[in-house]
Amino acid sequence: MTNPSDQQKQGSGHGQLEQTIHTDFKQDMTYGDYLQLDKVLSSQTRLSDHHDEMLFIIIHQVSELWMKQILHELSAAMTSIQEGQLEPAFKMFSRVSRIQQQLIKSWDVLSTLTPAEYMQFRDKLGHSSGFQSYQNRLIEFTLGYKNSHVLAVYEHQPELHGLLKQTLEAPSIYDAAIKAMAERGLPVDEACLERDWSQSYVANESVERAWLTVYRDVNQYWDLYELAEKLVDIASQQQQWRFNHMTTVERIIGQKPGTGGSSGVGYLRRALDHRFFPELWSLRTQL
């Protein structure tokens, strides 16, 4: 004889809902309501009838969402460092590194788009280009790679132009890290602590010496040491993202110019020459 409770278990295994599952949403918020999925999932508007344009749109939209989260984490990490609370920033930096891994892997998905397929809808993009991603610019500015010339791309959007200009002219997260070392008594040239923040950071010998002190006495400066290694993680992932971007573009369009007017692969290759947080790399030779 079958126990009623056994019958209930068997029934739940054949598509029946558990009795405690909520099904009346006339007055309650649903999962879709919370995430505003009606807006998110209706934002993939193809300009051609080509099947693969959907992939192209979704890859870039998802990347922009991840970039939004990166900026959210970097902003909070910057505040923590400026307030002298380094350890909370470590979790934020770890999350940024994990997100960067997702962005790096996204190029593998996009690389399934062949040149012949992309050419079927590329002309529909006009002059729109990933070069114009303002969130990517904000990430670069926040990490210390400054370039005032790119602001011209955003002059038609005053509010956005203002946000980019503000970030350009503010200290980067590496500037905050250097200041944190100085506040701990490590000697750093005044020129590194008060400078034109709108200029890309240039390696400084006093900063390298300060980081060397940190790395040679990890027990005394553990939090600064951990901060440095988290920054190296982010710098390494950012370079990997750039490299995968370049190789994916070359795989799909070869040496053609970008839709936004850049030289395409040539421009992306030159960007690889820039290194974030230079002393954190050069000190490894000195240790």
The annotated binding site is made up of 56-60, 118, 122, 245, 259
| SS3 (DSSP) at 144 | coil
- The four Cα atoms 145, 147, 150, 154 give a dihedral, to 10 degrees, of 80
Positions at the binding site for heme: 245
Nearest 5°: CA angle at 91, between 228 and 96?
80
The whole-angstrom separation of Cα 100 and Cα 95 is 9
What's the full length of the chain, in residues? 287
- For 57-63, the CB contacts below 8 A with 24+ separation are 59/106, 59/109, 59/110, 60/130, 62/106, 63/103, 63/106
Q: Can you tell me the distance from the alpha carbon of 66 to that of 70, in angstroms, rounded to the nearest whole number?
A: 6
Feature table: binding site for substrate? 56-60, 118, 122, 259
